[in-house]
Amino acid sequence: MAPPAQTVRSSSPSQPSGKGEVSDLKLQLRQLAGSRAPGVDDSKRELFKKVISYMTIGIDVSSLFGEMVMCSATSDIVLKKMCYLYVGNYAKVNPDLALLTINFLQRDCKDDDPMIRGLALRSLCSLRVANLVEYLVGPLESGLKDSNSYVRMVAVIGVLKLYHISASTCIDADFPATLKHLMLNDSDTQVVANCLSALQEIWSSGAATSEEASRERETLLSKPVVYYFLNRIKEFSEWAQCLLLELVAKYVPADSSEIFDIMNLLEDRLQHANGAVVLATIKVFLQLTLSMTDVHQQVYERIKAPLLTLVSSGSPEQSYAVLSHLHLLVMRAPYIFSSDYKHFYCQYNEPSYVKKLKLEMLTAVANESNTYEIVTELCEYAANVDIPIARESIRAVGKIALQQYDVNAIVDRLLQFLEMEKDYVTAEALVLVKDLLRKYPQWSHDCIAVVGNISSKNVQEPKAKAALIWMLGEYSQDMQDAPYILESLIENWEDEHSAEVRLHLLTAVMKCFFKRPPETQKALGAALAAGLADLHQDVHDRALFYYRLLQYDVTVGERVVNPPKQAVSVFADTQSSEIKDRIFDEFNSLSVVYQKPSYMFTDKEHRGPFEFSDELGNLSIGTESVDTTVPVHKVEANDKDLLLSTTEKEDTRGPINDGAYSAPSYDGSLVSLAAPQTQPEVATSNPSVKEHSQSSFAIDDLLGLGLPAAPAPAPSPPSLKLNSKAVLDPSTFQQKWRQLPISLSQEYSVSPQGVSALTTPQVLLRHMQTHSIHCIASGGQSPNFKFFFFAQKAEESSTFLVECIINTSSAKAQIKVKADDQSASQAFSSLFQSALSKFGTA
Amino acid sequence: MISQFFVLSQRGDNIVFRDYRGEVQKGSAEIFFRKVKFWKEDGEGDAPPIFNVDGVNYFHVKVAGLLFAATTRVNVSPSLVLELLQRIARVVKDYLGVLNEDSLRKNFVLVYELLDEVIDFGYVQTTSTEVLKSSIFNEPIMVDAGRLPPLGPAAIFMQGSKRMPGTAVTKSVVANEPGGRKREEIFVDIIEKISVTFSSSGYILTSEIDGTIQMKSYLTGNPEIRLALNDDLSIGRSGRSIYDYNSSSGSGPVVLDDCNFHESVHLDSFDIDRTLTLIPPDGEFPVMNYRMTQEFKPPFRINALIEEAGPLKAEVIIKVFAEFASSVIANTILVQMPLPTYTTRVSFELEPGAVGNTTDYKEANKRLEWGLKKIVGGSEHTLRAKLTFSQQSHANITKEAGPVSMTFTIPMYNASRLQVKYLQIVKKLKTDNPYRWVRYVTQANSYVARL
ipTM: 0.90
* Structural domains in chain B plus CATH codes: 4-134 (3.30.450.60), 184-238+251-296+413-449 (2.60.40.1170), 300-411 (2.60.40.1170)
Q: How confident is the model at residue A794 (pLDDT cuts 50, 70, 90)?
A: confident
Q: Write down the pLDDT at residue A754.
A: 78
Residues 67-106, chain A, touching B (beta carbon < 8 A):
77-78, 81-82, 85, 89, 92
pLDDT surpasses 50 at A432: yes
Element (H, E) at A790: strand A784-792
* Range with lowest mean pLDDT among A286-290, A560-564, A606-610, A756-760: A606-610
**Percentage of residues in chain A with pLDDT exceeding 90?**
31
| Bridging pattern class, strands B234-235 and B255-256 | parallel
HEC per residue, chain B: CCCEEEEECCCCCEEEEEECCCCCCCCHHHHHHHHHHHHHHCCCCCCCCEEEECCEEEEEEEECCEEEEEEECCCCCHHHHHHHHHHHHHHHHHHHCCCCHHHHHHCHHHHHHHHHHHEECCEECCCCHHHHHCCCCCCCCCCCCCCCCCCCHHHHHHCCCCCCCCCHHHCCCCCCCCCCCCCCEEEEEEEEEEEEEECCCCCEEEEEEEEEEEEEECCCCCCCEEEEECCCCEECCCCHHHHHHHCCCCCCCCEECEEEECCCEECCCHHHHCEEEECCCCEEEEEEEEEECCCCCCCEEEEEEEEECCCCEEEEEEEEEECCCCCCEEEEEEEEEECCCCEEEEEEEECCCCCCEEEEEECCCCEEEEEEEEEECCCEEEEEEEEEECCCCCCCHHHCCCCEEEEEEEECCCCCCCCEEEEEECCCCCCCCCEEEEEEEEEEEEEEECC
Q: Write down the pLDDT at residue A604.
A: 67
Q: What angle do CA B359, B196, B258 make, to 5 degrees?
A: 140
Q: Which of A105, A102, A162, A128 is nearest to A1 (CA)?
A: A128
Q: Write down the pLDDT at residue B143.
A: 79
**Percentage of residues in chain B with pLDDT exceeding 90?**
51
Q: Which of B130, B327, B118, B324 is nearest to B217 (CA)?
A: B130
- pLDDT tens-digit series, residues A326-357: 999 999 999 999 999 999 999 888 888 999 99
Q: How confident is the model at residue A786 (pLDDT cuts 50, 70, 90)?
A: confident
| CB burial string B157-185: b at 16+ within 10 A, e below | bbeeeeebeeebbbbbbbeeeeeeeeebb
CB atoms B76 and A115 under 8 Å: no
Distances (CA, A) of A554 to A482, A510, A524, A698: 21, 10, 13, 17
Residues of A in contact with B293 (CB under 8 A): 342
Q: Write down the pLDDT at residue A406.
A: 65
Residues 288-317, chain A, touching B (beta carbon < 8 A):
305-306, 308-310, 312-317
Average pLDDT over residues B382-403: 84
DSSP designation for A722: B
> Mapping DSSP to helix (H, G, I), strand (E, B) and coil, where does residue A748 land?
strand
Q: Rounded to a whole number, what is the distance in Å from the CA of A58 to chain B's nearest CA?
A: 8
* Range with lowest mean pLDDT among A680-689, A741-750, B308-317: A680-689
pLDDT surpasses 50 at A621: no
In this structure, the number of other CB atoms found within 10 A of the CB of residue A255 comes to 11
Residues of A in contact with B44 (CB under 8 A): 352, 388
Q: Write down the pLDDT at residue B177.
A: 56
Average pLDDT over residues B209-232: 88
pLDDT surpasses 70 at A670: no
pLDDT surpasses 80 at A672: no
Tell me the range of A228-242, A571-585, B263-277, B283-297 where mean pLDDT is highest: A228-242
Looking at every residue in chain A, the average pLDDT score rounds to 79
- pLDDT tens-digit series, residues A641-659: 333 333 333 333 333 333 3
* Range with lowest mean pLDDT among B216-220, B393-397, B427-431: B427-431
Q: Write down the pLDDT at residue A611.
A: 45
Q: Write down the pLDDT at residue B237.
A: 60
For residues B247 and A65, the model is more confident at: A65
CB A757, CB A763: distance < 8 Å: yes
Q: Write down the pLDDT at residue A309.
A: 93
Length, in residues, of chain A: 842
CA distance A378 to A234: 44
Average pLDDT over residues A686-704: 38
pLDDT surpasses 90 at A761: no
For residues B434 and A17, the model is more confident at: B434
- Side chain identity at A139, as an amino acid letter? P
CB atoms A593 and B50 under 8 Å: yes
> How many C-alpha atoms does B198 have within 13 Å on its Cβ side?
23
- Side chain identity at A221, as an amino acid letter? L
- Side chain identity at A351, as an amino acid letter? P
Average pLDDT over residues B2-26: 92
Nearest CB to A115; choose among B120, B135, B262: B135
Q: How confident is the model at residue A405 (pLDDT cuts 50, 70, 90)?
A: low
CA distance A352 to B49: 12
pLDDT surpasses 90 at A818: no
- pLDDT tens-digit series, residues A158-195: 999 999 999 999 999 999 999 999 999 999 999 999 99
Residues of B in contact with A592 (CB under 8 A): 78
Q: Write down the pLDDT at residue B426.
A: 81
> Mapping DSSP to helix (H, G, I), strand (E, B) and coil, where does residue A302 land?
helix
Q: How confident is the model at residue A842 (pLDDT cuts 50, 70, 90)?
A: low
CB A354, CB B445: distance < 8 Å: no
Q: How confident is the model at residue B372 (pLDDT cuts 50, 70, 90)?
A: very high
Q: Write down the pLDDT at residue B218.
A: 82
One DSSP character per residue, A162-218 reads: HHHH-HHHHHHTTHHHHHHHHHHH-S-HHHHHHHHHHHHHHHHHHTTT-HHHHHHHH
Q: Write down the pLDDT at residue A671.
A: 34
Q: What angle do CA A451, A455, A459 make, to 5 degrees?
A: 90
CB B341, CB B395: distance < 8 Å: no
Q: How confident is the model at residue A133 (pLDDT cuts 50, 70, 90)?
A: confident
CA distance A454 to A472: 11
One DSSP character per residue, A112-146 reads: SSHHHHHHHHHHHHTS--GGGTHHHHHHHHHHHH-
pLDDT surpasses 70 at A550: yes
Average pLDDT over residues A834-838: 82
CA distance A312 to B208: 9
* Range with lowest mean pLDDT among A15-24, A431-440, A787-796, B182-191: A15-24
Q: How confident is the model at residue A744 (pLDDT cuts 50, 70, 90)?
A: confident
Q: Write down the pLDDT at residue B210.
A: 93
pLDDT surpasses 80 at B430: no
Q: Write down the pLDDT at residue A539.
A: 93
pLDDT surpasses 80 at A117: yes
- pLDDT tens-digit series, residues A275-316: 999 999 999 999 999 988 889 999 999 999 999 999 988 888
**For residue A815, what are the β-bridge partners?**
A746, A804
> Mapping DSSP to helix (H, G, I), strand (E, B) and coil, where does residue A409 land?
helix
Average pLDDT over residues B407-416: 92
CB atoms B399 and A272 under 8 Å: no
* Range with lowest mean pLDDT among A420-429, A773-782, B374-383: A773-782
Chosen for mutation from A113, A122, A274 (greatest number of chain B CBs closer than 10 Å) is: A274
Q: Which of A544, A535, A458, A543 is nearest to A494 (CA)?
A: A535
CA distance A79 to B235: 53
Q: Which of A441, A721, A416 is nearest to A568 (CA)?
A: A441
Of all residues in chain A, the one with the smallest CA distance to B53 is A601
Q: Write down the pLDDT at residue B178.
A: 54
Residues of B in contact with A601 (CB under 8 A): 52, 55, 75
CA distance B414 to A434: 50
Q: How confident is the model at residue B181 (pLDDT cuts 50, 70, 90)?
A: low
Distances (CA, A) of A535 to A489, A502, A509, A543, A616: 18, 12, 20, 12, 56
CA distance A150 to A146: 9
Residues of A in contact with B258 (CB under 8 A): 305-306, 308-309
Q: Write down the pLDDT at residue A18.
A: 56
* Range with lowest mean pLDDT among A95-104, A601-610, B368-377: A601-610
CB B362, CB B301: distance < 8 Å: no
Q: Write down the pLDDT at residue A813.
A: 84
CB A370, CB A404: distance < 8 Å: no
Q: Write down the pLDDT at residue B342.
A: 87
CB A180, CB A199: distance < 8 Å: yes
CA distance A705 to A96: 60
Cα separation of the two ends of chain A: 71
Q: Which of A63, A76, A78, A77 is nearest to A29 (CA)?
A: A63
For residues A404 and A617, the model is more confident at: A404
What Rg value do the Cα atoms of chain A yield, rounded? 34
Q: What angle do CA B277, B281, B285 make, to 5 degrees?
A: 85
CB A271, CB A305: distance < 8 Å: no
CB B76, CB B2: distance < 8 Å: yes
Q: B204 Cβ partners below 8 Å, 6+ apart?
A: B196, B197, B198, B295, B298
Of all residues in chain A, the one with the smallest CA distance to B56 is A602
Q: Which of B159, B224, B252, B171 is nearest to B441 (CA)?
A: B159
pLDDT surpasses 90 at A232: yes
Residues of A in contact with B448 (CB under 8 A): 347-348
Q: Rounded to a whole number, what is the distance in Å from the CA of A608 to chain B's nearest CA?
A: 5
| Bridging pattern class, strands B185-198 and B435-449 | parallel
Of all residues in chain B, the one with the smallest CA distance to A386 is B45
Q: Rounded to a whole number, what is the distance in Å from the CA of B18 to chain A's nearest CA?
A: 8
> Mapping DSSP to helix (H, G, I), strand (E, B) and coil, where does residue A16 land?
coil
Task: Give the dihedral sign, CA B196/B198/B202/B203.
Answer: negative
* Range with lowest mean pLDDT among A86-95, A400-409, A643-652: A643-652
Q: How confident is the model at residue B395 (pLDDT cuts 50, 70, 90)?
A: low
Cα separation of the two ends of chain B: 49
Q: Which long-range contacts (CB under 8 A, 24 or more apart) does B229-237 make?
A: B229/B274, B229/B275, B229/B276, B229/B418, B229/B419, B229/B420, B229/B421, B230/B254, B230/B274, B230/B417, B230/B418, B230/B419, B230/B421, B231/B273, B231/B274, B231/B421, B233/B274, B233/B418, B235/B259, B236/A305, B237/B293, B237/B294
**For residue B343, what are the β-bridge partners?**
B389
